[in-house]
Structure 1
Amino acid sequence: MTHLVFELAPTALTTAQHTLAPYAVAHQNAHALTVAKLKGCTLTLYASGKLLIQGSQAQAVAADLGFMEMAEQASSKNTAISNSTRPTATGQPSNQLSLIGSDEVGNGSYFGGLAVVASYVTPSDHTWLRQLGVGDSKTLTDQKIRQIAPLLEEKIPHKALLLTPKKYNQVVGEGLRHNAVSVKVALHNQAIFLLLQEVSEPEAIVIDAFTSESNYRKYLRQEVNQFHQPISLIQKAESQYLAVAASSIIARKLFLDNLDSLSQQIGLTLPSGAGTASDKVASQILARFGQDGLTQVAKWHFKNTQKAYNLLKKR
């Protein structure tokens, strides 16, 4: 989905409202002056002076309503729109927006749960986040994650959800309610839904992409809790948006804490990932505790389960 962001001067707000008036629709956005619909696009004019246009025809709509011309004029006069937020054709939300960013950790690990976190970050948070060293959790050591995450948890509004292996195995698998993709849709949707109840209306919502937008929408129809704000699924979003990066770090700590807790419960060190080390530990768990023991700490539908059984037979 394409996003265009215009930062209008106060004197341009009235003009923008009049322009959008014929297409205005009822809305529940407490921070918006006007919400309009045109050619499948949603146009949101905020009291702050920002105009957000979302939809595949965003550029065409902006041109039809004169906002592209306004941007060109402002570019030369440096008044109506700032260079940092000038609309582009990247198809991604601007970093200058207030964002909810959501990410998950544990999806590729055989042992441990699935952690999903949604965080609300505004541009005023960016300096502090960068000074803290916030970035993609995959590029940070576990020690650094454990140092940063508590600070983020304290300052950044967020919602964290953990699906333990026991619960995961009750809902994910053949003949069960979810598959490996639909369960992530459910968790992301719920985390964002809960966060929206507590924070100001974000100007965009970004999820680190794990499936196509059409697939996401298909599974989303199964969810009871819904929200009206559009989302953007963006590849490697954790390296592009600080809101997603913050969520990635908090989720990584939640996953690590759960893995440590499960290791203590089972009496074995559970490795992260889904490699041969996981196969060996799983076979040991099967030998000591059987299937019931393994389903308490591992995602049963992974191929590692069959590999663990194969190793057990060779003993």
Structure 2
Amino acid sequence: MALKSYTAALTPPQATRLCALLREEGFEMPPRPYTLGFGQKGHLTVAVYEKGPKVVIQGRDTEDFVKFRLEPEILGEAKLGYEEELSPDQFQPHFGIDESGKGDFFGPLVISGAYVDRGIARALREAGVTDSKRIGSDARIRELASVIRGQPGAVHEVIIVGPETYNRLVVKFGNVNRLLAWGHARVLENLLAKRPDCPRALSDQFAKPEVLKRALLEKGRTIQFDTATKAESDPAVAAASILAREGLIDWMDRTGREIGCRLPRGASAEVKRVARELVAGRGAEVLNRLAKTHFRTAHEVAPTHFAAPPPRSTHWGGGKADS
């Protein structure tokens, strides 16, 4: 099956060169928000996003454009089609585990895991499964999540830690990294109950390895568990990141409809504005049900109800790796 979607990180000079290439090749370049350039030509769209920067290529001619223009002229390296030779471990049977929502004031923490073998990994690559942070469209996240769940032999697990539970567990564990370690260990245990013959698991490195090892449960201690920076380049971890992101956006959309208020993501000025309005209209307690109250935002919008967080050096809520 020909590749119909491709995402790659760019350096700023590469992004500039790619936009110039699109113009030289006669791509239509209509203005699009959040992009440095957006090109359309035949069965191909190329979006060069400001954030990253990164490029997202979609359409029937994606594979040819990547192989014959993007890689040789912009990236300066040939990877497409050589993934198994360059990264053979990514195509061996293993679990990938990732999370979503850690940096969002509103909403849950979602931790997910997915299993791949050679066939599943190849299929996910061809479908365009990549790190969810590189995908800006909720519709595309849901589309890829459906592809992941539909793979023959697919095994996956999603744990949604809603705000009320999250706030209680952050206090219990003492910091977010220990909570994340517990969640990763729980997902791994559930995956192994479904696929006990899997020999290895991989997750992004969010804390020192011993923090995660201490959290592993009975089954999780029996297999090789690796952590790595930028682990989302692995197809299993990328799949897990998409399933986790789907869980987050579904919760945010559903809860927003229930309360009649759109809950923005992240921790921006818009997030703070919505939080102030919610507190003014419903009382500070509403944040316990909707938000991660150890974020400084909670104290800023309801200072008499939520204490100021400790200094970042204590690793409370997204600081440096736990020791």
Q: Which TM-score tier does this pair reach, normalised by the shorter chain?
A: 0.5 to 0.7
Which of 109, 128, 132 is 1:114 aligned to?
A: 109
Give yes or no for contact 1:212–1:233 (8 Å, CA) kept in 2: no
Counterpart residue identity of residue 113, structure 2? A
Partner of 1:181: 177
| 2:258 is the alignment partner of 1:265 | yes
Other structure's SS at 1:291 match: coil
Tell me, yes or no, if structure 1 residue 252 matches structure 2 residue 245: yes
**What do the CA deviations read for 1:198-218 (whole angstroms, capped 9, x no partner)?**
115223210111111123234
For 1:233, the aligned partner's letter is: T
In structure 1, give the amino acid aligned to 2:197: E
SS at match of 1:124: helix
**Structure 1 residue runs without a partner (length 5+):** 1-82
1:97 deviates by: 1.5
User: Residue 172 of structure 1 is aligned with which of 170, 185, 195?
Assistant: 170
Secondary structure class of the residue paired with 1:172: helix
CA apart distance, 1:262: 1.7
Say whether 1:142 aligns with 2:142.
no
Distance in 2 separating the partners of 1:248 and 1:226:
20
C-alpha separation in 2, matches of 1:178 and 1:260: 30
**1:46-61 residue pairs with structure 2 within 5 A?**
none
Conservation of the 8 A alpha-carbon contact between 1:97 and 1:204:
no
Structure 2 length-normalised TM? 0.63
* One-letter identity of the residue aligned with 1:213: P
SS class of match (1:115): strand
Question: In structure 2, what residue type is equivalent to 1:190?
Answer: R
Match of 1:276 in 2: 269
Q: Which residue in 2 is equivalent to 1:235?
A: 229
Q: Distance in 2 between matches of 1:84 and 1:150?
A: 23
Larger Rg: 1
Q: What is the letter of the counterpart of residue 107 of structure 2?
A: G
How far is 1:187 from its partner? 0.9
For 2:252, give the aligned amino acid. Answer: L
In structure 2, distance between residues paired with 1:206 and 1:193? 13
Distance 1:151 1:226 in 2: 27
1:137 alignment partner AA: S
Identical positions, percent:
28
Between the two proteins, the alignment pairs up a number of residues equal to: 221
